[in-house]
Amino acid sequence: MQSSGRWPGDSWTAREIEQQPATWIRVAEAVRRARPEIGKLIGLSGWRIVLTGAGTSAFVGEVVARDLARHLGRPVEAIATTEIVADPGAVVVDDRPILLVSFARSGNSPESVAAADLLQRLAPELRHLVITCDPGGRLARRWSGAGNAVVVNLPDEVNDRGFAMTSSFTGMALAALLAFGVDVDVDALARAGSAVLDGAAEHAPAISGAKPARLVFLGSGPLRGLAREAALKCLELTRGEVVGLADSALGFRHGPKSVLDERTIAVVFLSIDPHARRYDVDIARELVQSLGEERVVVVGGDDAGEVGGARIWPVPSPPGVPVAGYALLVVIAAQTTALACSLALGVTPDNPFPEGEVNRVVQGVVIHEFAPPEVS
């Protein structure tokens, strides 16, 4: 493993954050090879589309669901495997067939396999699209070769070796957009990603240097799911020493705003959707008034005047990129901020929990037998 060049020490985490623009090109190639098989699933008219995963993999679904819905002209639901396993009967409530899109870095989490198997029992017409970074994982092996499933194995580079999911997150999100035919100029996206990385060495240490006790991430539409992923990265890579919280620009005022104090830094992800952007700008201005200019960071903005003097972390927007595609650029800011905070605290980013309190692949989950209620 080579040094990342931008961050002190050698870590898989730094390397995997920085490799993302290059891996996006190879992700696109993997999806292109699978398109003939994927097309048979996407052409299913009238089917429910459910996106699922756990943790970061669940947030992939939250980020891409709305742009997929707009592109397909029908609802797309993001339901975490953890919710499906706990209450599968609430997912299958009618006789509509379901296309289940499963996201998984390893595919070895107990919920990943159990969710797909449970829905297969409850909805016999279920079809599966598995997007995974590990062809040897349980989920990929379970559905490879099945007549009702297509498994898309992403390049080995995006099967993150670090503790936290970084390139696997952006790789799976991009794969989902491309699989469903959303138009993304991957070359332009990769160039923009490199530009965000170039700026990260300045902006991320500036945030960590303020020694925040709390980082609040806010975003609208698909960027709300991204805010949840950003908060999780903060918690994971700092071993919970910096508390990450997430909400939408509008939802934050409804109680969660209570978390603000003198050791909080608020990060607002500025949408490229003109309507949503107005609400992002409103909350950024409000936060500047309550926290001060130095404790509010706007990611995606390029005009300090628009957001009342907040600190600006510019993120370029390639022409025509969907909001979910833009999220793959914005998340680099969140990932590098979490990494910078981790290093500032002396935490080892590849192994922030050496005692095993939290694991790379979740442990300790018991899958209980589900008995559907009897119909009277």
Render each residue's pLDDT in the chain as its tens digit; 376 residues. Answer: 444 567 777 899 999 999 999 999 999 999 999 999 998 887 777 889 999 999 999 999 999 999 999 999 999 999 999 999 999 999 998 888 999 999 999 988 889 999 999 999 998 889 999 999 999 999 999 999 999 999 999 999 999 999 999 999 999 999 999 999 999 999 999 999 999 999 999 999 999 999 999 999 999 999 999 999 999 999 999 999 999 999 999 999 999 999 999 999 999 999 999 999 999 999 999 999 999 999 999 999 776 568 878 999 999 999 999 999 999 999 999 999 999 999 999 999 998 887 777 766 767 778 898 877 664 4
Answer whether residue 370 is part of any domain: no
Q: Are residues 23 and 44 in the same domain?
A: yes
* Residue 359 confidence (pLDDT): 64
Listed in sequence order, the residues at least 6 apart from 65 whose beta carbon sits closer than 8 Å to its beta carbon are 51, 76, 77, 78, 222, 225
The SS3 assignment for 122 reads helix
Do 118 and 210 reside in the same domain of the chain? Answer: no
In a domain, 163, yes or no: yes
Both 135 and 194 in one domain: the answer is no
Among candidate residues 139, 159, 180, the one where a domain is terminated? 180
Residue 7, Cα to own-chain centre: how many angstroms?
A: 23
Among candidate residues 163, 180, 197, the one where a domain is terminated: 180
All residues at 6 or more sequence positions from 375 whose CB lies less than 8 Å from its CB, including other chains: none
Query: Could you give the CA distance from residue 150 to residue 309 in angstroms, rounded to a whole number?
Result: 49
Residue 364: what residue type? Answer: G
Give the 3-state secondary structure of residue 268: strand
Q: Which residues, in sequence order, are bridge partners of residue 103?
A: 131
- Is 317 inside any structural domain? yes
Same domain? 141 vs 208: no
What does the pLDDT read at residue 374? 60
Q: 199 φ, ψ to 5°? A: -85, -15
**Gap between the Cα atoms of 247 and 80, Å rounded:** 17
On whether residue 213 sits in a domain, the answer given is yes
Range of the structural domain that residue 310 is part of? 187-345
Q: What is the pLDDT of residue 108?
A: 87
Q: What tokens appear for 66 in the block?
A: 């709305």
For residue 243, how many other CB atoms are within 10 A of its CB? 17
What CATH number is associated with residue 329?
Answer: 3.40.50.10490
Which residues lie closer than 8 Å to 39 by C-beta, 6 or more apart?
Answer: none
pLDDT (0 to 100) of residue 16: 97
Residue whose pair of structure tokens reads 């909080």 in the numeric block: 264
On whether both 141 and 42 belong to a single domain, the answer is yes
